């Protein structure tokens, strides 16, 4: 099967993200450009492999990728897993793209009280 989640061990977060991608785009991602922002061994690399095995054209990027906004704008599927809050901006996303943000970052939220924070992608 394409993007095979049934054979072998796969980290749960990329497996879940891939299930979401499949629910939107189907099993075969041929002709779709996918960008994975994040290169970790636990998420970024396995996610890229799953997308590749489903026939997507995959670009792996990270915080030091030159002109990251331009790279992101070419994505039909954009998956972000970065340790920087609110890194991916709305104008980086092309209309109709599927965006999955698995990054979790805590930022200060003084409006909620002293020492309070909130979670953002």
pLDDT digit string (tens) for 63-72? 899 999 999 9
pLDDT digit string (tens) for 16-56? 999 999 999 999 999 999 999 999 999 999 999 999 999 99
Name the domain count of the chain.
1
Q: What whole-number distance in Å separates Cα of residue 81 and Cα of residue 38?
A: 5
Q: What is the pLDDT of residue 21?
A: 98
Is residue 3 domain-resident? no
The phi and psi torsions of 79 (rounded to 5 degrees) equal -120, 120
Is residue 2 domain-resident? no
Q: pTM for this structure?
A: 0.86
Is residue 63 domain-resident? yes
């Amino acid at each position: 099967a394409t993007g095979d989640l049934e054979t072998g061990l796969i980290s749960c977060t990329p497996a879940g993200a891939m299930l979401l991608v499949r629910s939107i785009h189907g099993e075969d991602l041929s002709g779709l450009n996918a960008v994975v922002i994040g290169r970790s061994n636990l998420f970024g690399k396995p996610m890229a492999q799953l997308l590749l095995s489903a026939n997507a054209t995959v670009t792996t990027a990270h915080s030091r990728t030159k002109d990251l906004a331009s790279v992101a704008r070419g994505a039909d599927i954009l998956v972000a897993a970065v340790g920087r809050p609110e890194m991916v901006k709305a104008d980086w996303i092309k209309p109709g793209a599927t965006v999955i943000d698995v990054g979790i970052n805590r930022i200060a939220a003084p409006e909620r009280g002293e020492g309070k924070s909130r979670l953002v992608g």
